[in-house]
Structure 1
Amino acid sequence: MKKLFKSGFFKIGLVFIIAGGAVAYWLMPPVAKVESTEIGKGYKVKFKTNGTQIEQFQNQSWNPYFAKGVNMGAAVPGHFPGELEISRDDYMRWFEMIQDMGANVIRVYTILKPEFYEALVRYNEKHQDNPLFFIQGVWSPEEQLIAGQNAFDPKVKQKFEKEVREAVEAVYGNIELEAEAHSGKASGNYVFNAGPYLMGWIVGTEWDPMMVDKTNKNNSGAADYKGEHFQSKSDASPFEKWLAEMVDITATTEAKHGWQHPIAFSNWVTTDPLEHPGEPLITEDMVSVDPSHIEAVDWDAGYFASYHVYPYYPDFFTFDKSFQTMKNDKGEVDSYKTYLHKLKEYHNDMPVMITEFGVPASQGIAHTGMLGRNQGGHDDKTQGEMDADMFRQIHQEGYSGAILFTWQDEWFKKTWNTLNYDIPDRRAYWYNTLTNESHFGILGMYPSKDDVIHIDGDSSDWDKLDDGDKTKLDMQMKGFNEIWATHDEGYLYLLAKLTEPLDLTENSVYLGFDTLKGGNRHAPQLQEKTLDEGLETLIELGNKDKGQMMIASNYDFHTRIYGKLSKILAYDPKHFQDDSGLFNPWKLVVNYLLEYPDSRVDHPFGDIEVGNLLRGTSNPQDPNYNSKAMWQAKGNILEIRIPWMLLGFSDPSSLSAISYKDTGTKQFESEKVEGVRIVPWIVRNDSKEVIGLEGNNPYPISKLPLYTWKRWEDIDVKYVERPKQSYSIMQKAMREVNQPVSEHK
């Protein structure tokens, strides 16, 4: 008995020792270890610039380095970036996926919470032979800069300087940041020194051209900046002198930690130093912020240029003939390739990195570009193919890095051509596939039923849903045996079991939706039938593969803004009367009407249909998978998922639909609704016989069942995290590249 007690005591003690060791592992910051060298005045250096290249110290020598990376945001579905809800486990999992893709660097835009730096240090502790590096961004006070239009404002300058110093100290694990109410800033105790894993700094954000121009004009007498490590050149503008100081403060603060890293400031096409003679909008070519007007004077790690370059914005990528002079590897005239070549040629004595590029995989489109490289409208596979093409072009043109925008989808994002249709403080709670900015990620953040309900014409997955998670709509309509409905953060899902196999060469299927009082009670699609309540939106499925969402003309947001309000589109006032009988295509604007003298040349208004619904399969395990597939029919089974905004919802999480009310502005009001009433019918293409709306005329759709749901909040948001097809395509492209292109010449 005594022996057993001693043995048990020993085991208990051993457990405490092991447990204590585990606790110590997670509490004690490990020492970051990377191979580095000392240059200059004894500063440690891992990366430095050399001519037009960035180099890495590796295997006791300096080797050319090409940064293959992804940008990383600060939000997950259900949360806004200021909430900083990404966990240490999320980061650890993501780092492994990012490195497995072939990337060697992550770029972040601002100070993240301590868990990011802790996770990176701990991850690299296990990958010392091949660590994952990061570029730290410093967020500039955008709102104050734009509001005040003067970068030299002492309050703006003081705030930016503080942000710079805090970013450096956070990276080196040497600061405790207090939480600031409503600031959206990270806070906590930063004790993990991630500095050795830093690849470089990017200071600031994309610069508003009007602010830059006014800063230059209002500070024309600003003295040249001569700092300890950086200075402005004689031809620098006042704004560039201000930037030289911000870059120098970054270097001076980092030098206290005994390290140097290459530094750049953020820039984009709008404020590049090139001329864009075919750009219609004056503000897109009115002022330059030129990296070559700043130089390092005592910073051995060096200085590089950083640009965000997308293929569809500004408009000169599409319209400027002077940027359509080069052909890509496929033999196509390519404005993106031409631009990359000209930008690199201009910066002929310093390294340049493209630190944002990419296209989103979304239903919505915000700009059109050459070669179909639109801002949106792509499925996941096409997204990857276009991203990979741009990645290879950036590498071929001799750049020092290509950082893809972006790693994960972020639901909270807004887009200029849908922001008037939704509720700003609810955006993070639902998946809006019309807002393309939310879907640049190659790590998909899909709505919660993405791995439960597959649109493929097979109803068996519906059988797996709990009874409380699906609703049978008791309609007793001819042509339809059963209709079921369910929903998630992204879609309304419908399953229709028809009385006979669906032949879309002989029939057209219609699904009408009633959410508000008003809309069309009659329409050509109803033949001679009339309804007792109006429809706001209507889906037509016909001609085998064609599917289209349409919107009642008096509810049509697009025509209300650009026809009735702005007088840009021609319209008939009768179409804004209730029960006009007309359904319009669902459209989004892609460029505004520009006229001289507001623009250099008259530039036509542009819009595009976004209500086309793709027939296909949404099952990612199917070889024919398409992320944009919205419906499928097989035998007598019809499955469809409908994006919430196409149904007129400004926020499905609070059952809010866009109101009919005319506000006289581009901003629409929202109205709480009880749910959605679904009205199905079939039309014989030859005889025009209507099946499913037999009996009374007007047909009493007000008696049909209403599909409704409970309001959901952030804690209720669920999502499916899964690499998109674009991930594996980018993986192939990134693994092909190890060195800058000059190494291959």
Structure 2
Amino acid sequence: MKKLFKSRLFKFGLATVIVGGAAVYWLMPPMAKVESAEIGNGFKIKFKTNGTQIEQFQNQIWKPYFAKGVNMGATVPGHFPGELEISKDDYMRWFKMIQEMGANVIRVYTILKPEFYESLVRYNAKHQDNPLFFIQGIWSPEEQLIAGQNAFDPQVKQKFEKEVQDAVEAVYGNIDLDAEEHSGKASGNYVFNAGPYLMGWIVGTEWDPVMVDKTNKSNVGTADYKGDHFQSKPGANPFEKWLAEMVDITATTEANHGWQHPIAFSNWVTTDPLEHPGEPLVAEDMVSVDPTHIAAVDWEAGYFASYHVYPYYPDFFTFDKSFQTMKNVKGEVDSYKTYLHKLKEYHSDMPVMITEFGVPASQGVAHTGMLGRNQGGHDDKTQGEMDADMFREIHQEGYSGAILFTWQDEWFKKTWNTMYYDIPDRRAYWYNTLTNESHFGVLGMYPSKDDVIHIDGDASDWDKLDDKDKTKLDLHIDGFNGIWATHDEGYLYLSIKLSEPLDLSKNSIYFGFDTLKGGNRHAPQLQGKTLDEGLETLLEIGNQDKGQMMIASNYDFHTRLYGKLSKILPYDPKELQDDSGIFNPWKLVVNYLLEKPDSRVNHPFGDIGVGDMLRGSSDPQDPNYNSKAMWQAKGNELEIRIPWALLGFSDPSSLSVISYEDTGTKQFESEKVEGVRIVPWIVRKDSKEVVGLEGDNPYPVSQLPLYTWKRWEDVDVKYVERPKQSYSLMQEAMHEADQPVSK
């Protein structure tokens, strides 16, 4: 008996040792193992610059390296960046997908929470033959810089220096960042040394030109900066001297860890060193921040230039003839290719990386560009085609890297032309198709019913929904045998059974939406019928390919903001009267009216329609899938999804819509509503007969059932993560670029 007891005790003890060993394994950070060269004073080096190239030490020799990468944000739907809610599982899954796409580097903008560095080290420990590298960005104090207009302000400098030092120590797993001191930023205990997997540093953010100009004017006579590892060159302006010091502080801090990596500062077209004679806005060509005015000394890893370059901004990409001198491989005049060529040519003795480029897949548009490369308005496939074309052009021009913006969609983002139409502190809780900035990702973050309800004219997938998750609207309207409604973070969905198959050669079908007191009670689309309550928005489906969302003229945010308030758009005051009878197309501004002295030339106001409702399939398994498909009909079944913003919602999660109230400012007031009333009817194209609004005149809209839902918060947000069509198109382009093109 004692022998048996001892045997069991031994087995138990052995199990304890084994389990304990596993715990030690998972608690102890794995050692990063990368092949590196050793230079003077014992420094390790994996990447370095050589002339106009970046090189990687591999198989005991230095080889040219082209950074094929993606930028990565700091959050997921339902959260803002300061919450840093990405999990270790997310990172491990994403790293695999990123490498499978063909990328070899991730660029992050700021210190992320410890889980990022831990996950990268653990991932690479399993992929030692082919590790995934990263570029660490160091966030500059943007708000203080813009507010103070002087980079040499001691408080600004001190804050930036601290950020530089914290970033280096976080990368090397050597700091504990206190949560209270870093409110809204990453914090925690950094113990995983990710330094060996670093490809390089990018210091700072896009520089505000007015701030740079005022810094230069306020610090005339500032001495050249001469540091231990970096210095400014003769002719550098004061801001460039300030930057040289920030770059040098980065190098000096990293040197304490026995490593050297290539360093750049962030830059963009607005502050590039080129002349843009056809750029209308003075501020966009006001001042240069020139990378060639800074040099590395005693830093063998070297120094490179980093630029964010998009094809639609600034406006000279579209209007400047001096940047329309080259043709792409398709034989098209291409201002983006011309710009890339000129920028690379200017930096004749150093590597240059394009560290942001891309177009978003969104309903909204914020700028227009040559060759249709607009900031928005694209489906997922078109996004991928344009991104891949730009990637290839960057590679062909001999750049050292092309880092796509961005990896994942980011719901919290704002855009200059929609930011007055939503509630800032709730942006992360819903999928706003009009805010293009939210949709640059090649990893789509779609609203929660994306994989349940497919807009394809077959309503059988609605059977998958719980009864509590869909509502049959008790309308009893001629022409309609039943209307069901549901919703998610992105859309209001409708499933309609018609009394007869939809024949758009003979009929137009309309859906009016009532959320507030006011709006149009009569309109040409009603063919003489009158409603007892007005409509704020209206969907018209009258042709085979697309429908159109419209907005009552007195509710129309575009007319109210740029007509009545800003006095830019001509408008008839009668349009702003209640029940004007006019429904306007849904529009967004794409460029402001620019006049001297702010502009070199008078530049007209521009806007674009964003209310098109495309017919198609939203089923990603369908060969004809279109991410922008909003309706489809088959026989007598009609399915529709309507973006919340096109219904006037400033935040569907709190049932808030834009108010009719005139605030006299650009910021519109929001008003809580109980839900939305849906008013359907059909118009015979030949006779103009209205089907569906029979009976009382005025027709009692106020008696129709209300579709409503419960308020949702961050914890309620669900989403579907799925690679977009752009992922596979970028995958094809990245796998083509195994070697850099020599220039």
CA distance in 2, matches of 1:245, 1:64: 29
CA distance in 2, matches of 1:13, 1:279: 76
Task: Name the counterpart of 1:687.
Answer: 687
TM-superposed CA distance for 1:41, in Å, is 2.5
What are the Cα deviations for residues 190-249 of structure 1, in whole angstroms up to 9, with x where unaligned?
000000000000000000000000000000011100000000001100000000000000
Task: Name the counterpart of 2:370.
Answer: 370
Paired residue secondary structure (1:426): helix
Which residue type is aligned with residue 718 of structure 1? K
Paired residue secondary structure (1:344): helix
CA distance in 1, matches of 2:236, 2:149: 19
CA distance in 2, matches of 1:141, 1:281: 25
CA distance in 2, matches of 1:456, 1:15: 56
Paired residue secondary structure (1:97): helix
1:346 has 2:346 as partner: yes
Which residue type is aligned with residue 719 of structure 2? Y
Task: Name the counterpart of 1:511.
Answer: 511
Paired residue secondary structure (1:510): strand
**TM alignment of 1:65-84, pairs within 5 A:** 65-84=65-84
**TM alignment of 1:127-276, pairs within 5 A:** 127-180=127-180, 183-276=183-276
CA distance in 2, matches of 1:718, 1:668: 28
CA distance in 2, matches of 1:124, 1:115: 14
Give aligned-pair identity as a percent: 87
Task: Name the counterpart of 1:564.
Answer: 564
What are the Cα deviations for residues 302-324 of structure 1, in whole angstroms up to 9, with x where unaligned?
00000000000000000000000
Which residue type is aligned with residue 255 of structure 2? A
Is the Cα–Cα contact under 8 Å of residues 168 and 250 in structure 1 kept in the other structure? yes
Do the aligned partners of residues 217 and 503 (structure 1) sit closer, same or farther apart at CA in structure 2, a change above 3 Å counting? same
Do the aligned partners of residues 209 and 517 (structure 1) sit closer, same or farther apart at CA in structure 2, a change above 3 Å counting? same
Task: Name the counterpart of 1:290.
Answer: 290
Paired residue secondary structure (1:247): helix
TM-superposed CA distance for 1:182, in Å, is 7.5
1:499 has 2:496 as partner: no
Which residue type is aligned with residue 705 of structure 2? P
TM-superposed CA distance for 1:596, in Å, is 1.6
TM-superposed CA distance for 1:21, in Å, is 3.0
Paired residue secondary structure (2:136): strand
TM-superposed CA distance for 1:4, in Å, is 6.5
Paired residue secondary structure (2:41): coil
Task: Name the counterpart of 1:725.
Answer: 725
Q: List alignment gaps of at least 5 residues for structure 2.
A: none
Paired residue secondary structure (1:295): strand
1:615 has 2:615 as partner: yes
Do the aligned partners of residues 471 and 8 (structure 1) sit closer, same or farther apart at CA in structure 2, a change above 3 Å counting? farther
Do the aligned partners of residues 500 and 16 (structure 1) sit closer, same or farther apart at CA in structure 2, a change above 3 Å counting? farther
TM-score between the two structures when normalised by the length of structure 1: 0.99
What are the Cα deviations for residues 269-318 of structure 1, in whole angstroms up to 9, with x where unaligned?
00000000000000000000000000001100000000000000000000
* Higher mean C-alpha deviation, range 14-23 or range 322-331: 14-23
Is the Cα–Cα contact under 8 Å of residues 247 and 263 in structure 1 kept in the other structure? yes
Task: Name the counterpart of 1:16.
Answer: 16
Task: Name the counterpart of 1:540.
Answer: 540
Do the aligned partners of residues 496 and 3 (structure 1) sit closer, same or farther apart at CA in structure 2, a change above 3 Å counting? farther
1:325 has 2:325 as partner: yes
Do the aligned partners of residues 710 and 258 (structure 1) sit closer, same or farther apart at CA in structure 2, a change above 3 Å counting? same
**TM alignment of 1:426-437, pairs within 5 A:** 426-437=426-437
Paired residue secondary structure (1:494): strand
**TM alignment of 1:356-395, pairs within 5 A:** 356-395=356-395
TM-superposed CA distance for 1:14, in Å, is 4.6
Is the Cα–Cα contact under 8 Å of residues 384 and 726 in structure 1 kept in the other structure? yes
CA distance in 2, matches of 1:187, 1:288: 35
CA distance in 2, matches of 1:488, 1:364: 19
Task: Name the counterpart of 2:454.
Answer: 454
1:710 has 2:710 as partner: yes
CA distance in 1, matches of 2:339, 2:444: 30
CA distance in 1, matches of 2:289, 2:60: 37
Do the aligned partners of residues 221 and 379 (structure 1) sit closer, same or farther apart at CA in structure 2, a change above 3 Å counting? same
Task: Name the counterpart of 1:701.
Answer: 701
TM-superposed CA distance for 1:181, in Å, is 6.3
CA distance in 2, matches of 1:14, 1:100: 41
Paired residue secondary structure (1:92): helix
Paired residue secondary structure (1:217): helix
TM-superposed CA distance for 1:549, in Å, is 0.1
TM-superposed CA distance for 1:64, in Å, is 0.3
Paired residue secondary structure (2:612): coil
Do the aligned partners of residues 18 and 702 (structure 1) sit closer, same or farther apart at CA in structure 2, a change above 3 Å counting? farther
1:97 has 2:97 as partner: yes
TM-superposed CA distance for 1:40, in Å, is 2.9
Q: List alignment gaps of at least 5 residues for structure 1.
A: none
CA distance in 2, matches of 1:221, 1:129: 51
Do the aligned partners of residues 157 and 616 (structure 1) sit closer, same or farther apart at CA in structure 2, a change above 3 Å counting? same
Which residue type is aligned with residue 422 of structure 2? D
Is the Cα–Cα contact under 8 Å of residues 588 and 610 in structure 1 kept in the other structure? yes
TM-superposed CA distance for 1:17, in Å, is 3.4
CA distance in 2, matches of 1:6, 1:739: 64
CA distance in 2, matches of 1:66, 1:180: 40
Which residue type is aligned with residue 523 of structure 1? A
1:489 has 2:489 as partner: yes
Do the aligned partners of residues 562 and 399 (structure 1) sit closer, same or farther apart at CA in structure 2, a change above 3 Å counting? same
CA distance in 1, matches of 2:486, 2:35: 55
TM-superposed CA distance for 1:9, in Å, is 4.6
Paired residue secondary structure (2:458): coil
CA distance in 2, matches of 1:251, 1:177: 21
CA distance in 2, matches of 1:82, 1:566: 34
Is the Cα–Cα contact under 8 Å of residues 40 and 300 in structure 1 kept in the other structure? no
Is the Cα–Cα contact under 8 Å of residues 283 and 598 in structure 2 kept in the other structure? no
Is the Cα–Cα contact under 8 Å of residues 92 and 120 in structure 1 kept in the other structure? yes
Do the aligned partners of residues 8 and 680 (structure 1) sit closer, same or farther apart at CA in structure 2, a change above 3 Å counting? farther
* Higher mean C-alpha deviation, range 35-44 or range 695-704: 35-44
Paired residue secondary structure (1:741): coil
Task: Name the counterpart of 1:573.
Answer: 573
Task: Name the counterpart of 1:468.
Answer: 468
Count residues in correspondence. 743
TM-superposed CA distance for 1:595, in Å, is 1.0
Task: Name the counterpart of 1:582.
Answer: 582
TM-superposed CA distance for 1:19, in Å, is 3.0
Paired residue secondary structure (1:613): strand
Task: Name the counterpart of 2:402.
Answer: 402
Which residue type is aligned with residue 234 of structure 1? P
Which residue type is aligned with residue 439 of structure 2? H
Paired residue secondary structure (1:278): coil
Paired residue secondary structure (1:661): coil
CA distance in 2, matches of 1:626, 1:153: 51
TM-superposed CA distance for 1:16, in Å, is 3.2
Which residue type is aligned with residue 701 of structure 2? I
CA distance in 2, matches of 1:611, 1:14: 69
CA distance in 2, matches of 1:22, 1:122: 15
Do the aligned partners of residues 11 and 691 (structure 1) sit closer, same or farther apart at CA in structure 2, a change above 3 Å counting? farther
CA distance in 2, matches of 1:15, 1:32: 29
Is the Cα–Cα contact under 8 Å of residues 473 and 482 in structure 1 kept in the other structure? yes
Paired residue secondary structure (1:41): helix
What are the Cα deviations for residues 335-373 of structure 1, in whole angstroms up to 9, with x where unaligned?
000000000000000000000000000000000000000
Paired residue secondary structure (1:35): coil
TM-superposed CA distance for 1:13, in Å, is 4.0
What are the Cα deviations for residues 575-626 of structure 1, in whole angstroms up to 9, with x where unaligned?
1000000000000000000012220001010000000001000000000000
Do the aligned partners of residues 541 and 9 (structure 1) sit closer, same or farther apart at CA in structure 2, a change above 3 Å counting? farther
CA distance in 2, matches of 1:18, 1:106: 36
What are the Cα deviations for residues 245-264 of structure 1, in whole angstroms up to 9, with x where unaligned?
00000000000000000000
Which residue type is aligned with residue 613 of structure 2? L
What are the Cα deviations for residues 121-152 of structure 1, in whole angstroms up to 9, with x where unaligned?
00000000000000000000000000000000
TM-superposed CA distance for 1:666, in Å, is 1.1
